Amino acid sequence: MQDLVSTDQNNASAPEAGSSGGENSAILSVRDVTVGFGPKIILDKLDLDVRQGEILGFVGGSGTGKSVLMRTILGLTRKRKGTIRVFGKDMDTASEEELAIIHKRWGVLFQQGALFSSLTVKQNIQVPMREHLKISQRLMDELAILKLELVGLSADAADKFPSELSGGMIKRAALARALALDPDLVFLDEPTSGLDPIGAAAFDSLIGKLSRTLGLTVYMVTHDLDSLASVCDRIAVLGDKKVLAIGTLDDMMKNDHPWIESYFRGERALRRV
Amino acid sequence: MAFKENSTAPAVRVDDEDGQAVLRLSGDWVVNRLTECEAALVGASSGKGSLHLDLSSLEGLDTSGAWVIHRYRGSQEFDGRRVVIDGMDANQQTLFHELELHHPAAFKPDRPRYSLADFLEGWGRVTVEAGRDGLAMLHILGSLGTVLAATLIQPKRLRSVSAAVQFDRTCIGAVPIILLMSFLIGVIISQQGGFYLRQFGADLYVVDLAGVLVLREIGVILTAIMVAGRSGSAITAELGAMRMREEVDALHVIGLRVTEVLILPRVLALMLAVPILTFLSDMASLFGSGLVAWAYLDIAPQPFLDRLQATVTMQTFFVGLVKAPFMALIVGLIASVEGLKVEGSTESLGKRTTLAVVKAIFLVIVVDGIFAVFFAAIGV
């Protein structure tokens, strides 16, 4: 992985890519992480660094553990060994207060949205605000609508319940909730799957814009080659229980690993990229 | 940019330059400092002339902070002032541009409703709801009837595996708790009855008391209540979750009848399970009361059984048992109706499950009352 060159425009001072460097600028670093269920090992001694301000696209075949890795980083799945550092804090040894701050500084978009079904969209977006901030109802309402508009939903969706929304609208509402506290790091699990191409493109450009203007770091699990090509600064490929390769799209195009080759240079990919 | 750990407090310095108010904003205008941001701007400048917002010494800015500044600008412009914002870097400019594109509508606080009208409306809704409930139960009962008729003609259509699984859950799984509960109830009846009857020297009448009470009423009611709480709630939750995940819709589209696939096996299993459980409950209660009679009132098992045989007839036993399938039907129907009424939210699932259990227990007792009147009328 040492030969991969960073093209991260946002962070010119970022050290060389690779698992050994980047401790300081890495907003998220995963070291030697092993996850397994019963006798089955899903991730084996996996290393990964996500740099401050970058958009990292994560790809891998179905069942290779992309979601498991994301859930492990989020602390939802137990790991057997290894360390995960988020914002420079080790998740295992962080105190309650440090964890509380980490929870305020990241936002997560789950694959199915995971909106609270008994709350309206507006209330959903306000859940983190209500919990972590002491601000007036007026300001919360304004910010909730602002976030909704930012992600491309109209204000009249605010008072609807998640069950009344279409799949694409759920994705957007969930993103609005993930962005409620202006997080530094967002995790997106297949954000554009199930969106029409125009909506997906708008979603991508929104992510790009947020990342540039707010210095948002994005960890995005996706299979959308358009997203990978248009907004991702770097792409990581998961396979054989570890990160097979990490680098720019150009690096991926040059990689000889059979899976990576068929993914990025297969018939379907060549038609699009 | 949110939650900077070492953020500096947002501040506004007001300068007056050539009759133009200049607000110099400094510090972190970020989400965890929002209240301070709002407070800093309140009454910062109340002149009439044009206003200049200088952002060049800002340390941090995110969408929330930008919104507060943007809103302040809007309110000042609304008052007829000319507002200029400068000192932004390119990113902040983009941020303000985005805000302008996605300007939320003016804030309208919810107005509380007039309570009397609300109260009446609430009652009206409950009444209509109760009527609809009755209709829905009749609907499912009717559809259950047709499905049952169809199964009688073509026995293959009965989902026997599903019914067996349901039977295993509702009947066999419930045996230990039903036995234990009934045993304790028998003990209590016998002990409490014995305590008073002994004062009149009428110890032996404990057997009459326990025998008639348990066999006619307590056994079947307790069983029905336990089944409503145990299996009725499970049925509602299962059907409700299936509705939430559109599985019920999928069944419709594939061309299967929900009544046939989901409801009939459950109701049949219940109607088979409740009589069996009632019988077991009867036996456990009598055993419990017999034990207490022996230990506490010195009525040995043989006299207890003799007395029981003399007072309790098969009729008493069957009066209790005949009610069991009806109780099962009520529990099953209500659980299914409520389950199918679940909408998209988890809250409605919880509400429907609660309602199913409450309604089922209530109706079990009402129906028991109706049976009592009926049996009295026919002289049983």
The size of the A-B interface in CB pairs under 8 A is 102
- How many Å apart are CA A168 and CA A11, to the nearest integer? 32
**pTM reported for the whole predicted model:** 0.71
Region class of A246: left (phi > 0), else alpha (psi between -120 and 50), else beta? beta
At residue B232, the pLDDT reads 94
Distance CA A167, CA A194 (A): 7
- The full set of domain ranges for chain B reads 11-101, 129-377
Angle (CA) B48-B53-B59 rounded to 5° is 150
CATH topology classification for B11-101: Transcription Regulator spoIIAA (3.30.750)
User: Are A163 and B343 in contact (CB < 8 Å)?
Assistant: yes
CB < 8 Å to A148, chain B? 104
Characterize the bridge pairing of strands B20-29 and B58-61: parallel
- Sign (positive/negative) of CA torsion B317, B319, B320, B325? positive
How many CA atoms are closer than 13 Å to the CA of B39, on its beta-carbon side? 10
pLDDT digits (tens, 9 = 90+) for B29-78: 888 888 888 888 887 776 777 888 888 888 888 888 888 888 888 888 88
**pLDDT(A7) > 70:** no
Residues near A199 by Cβ (< 8 Å), separated by ≥ 6? A152, A168, A192
Whether residue A12 is predicted with pLDDT greater than 50 in this model: the reply is no
Choose the closest CB to A213 out of B91, B107, B343: B91
Tell me which chain B residues have a C-beta less than 8 angstroms from the C-beta of A181: 2-3, 31
Average pLDDT of span B190-201: 90
Residues of A whose CB is below 8 A from B346:
116-118
Dist. CA B332–CA B335, nearest whole Å: 5
Phi, psi of B321 (to 5 degrees): -70, -30
How many Cα atoms sit within 13 Å of A107 on the Cβ side?
Answer: 27
- What percent of chain B is predicted at pLDDT more than 70? 95
Q: Which of 218-257 (B) contact A at CB < 8 A? A: 244
Task: Grade residue B8 by pLDDT with cuts at 50, 70 and 90.
Answer: confident
In three-state secondary structure terms, A3 is: coil
Question: Residue B203 contacts by C-beta under 8 Å, 6 or more apart in sequence?
Answer: B194, B197, B297, B298, B299
Whether the ipTM is more than 0.90: the answer is no
Q: How far apart are the first and last CA of chain B?
A: 80
Asked if A145 and A155 count as a contact pair (C-beta separation under 8 A), the reply is yes
Q: What is the 3-state secondary structure (H, E, C) of B11-80?
A: EEEEEEECCEEEEEEEEEECHHHHHHHHHHHCCCCCCCCCEEEECCCEEEECHHHHHHHHHHHHHHHHCC
B17 to chain A, any CB pair closer than 8 A? The answer is no
Q: Name residue, tokens 């002149």.
A: B47
If one compares A113 and B273, the residue with the highest pLDDT of the two is: B273
Does residue B223 register a pLDDT over 70? yes
Distance CA B130, CA A169 (A): 35
Asked if B176 reaches chain A (Cβ–Cβ under 8 Å), the answer is no
Find, among A81, A83, A93, A100, the residue nearest to A28 by Cα: A83
pLDDT at A47 over 80: yes
Say if B105 is an interface residue toward chain A (CB within 8 Å): yes
Q: Which residues 103-132 of A are in CB contact (within 8 Å) with B?
A: 104-105, 116-118, 132
Whether the predicted pLDDT of A196 surpasses 70: yes
**Closest Cα of chain A to B94: distance in Å?**
7
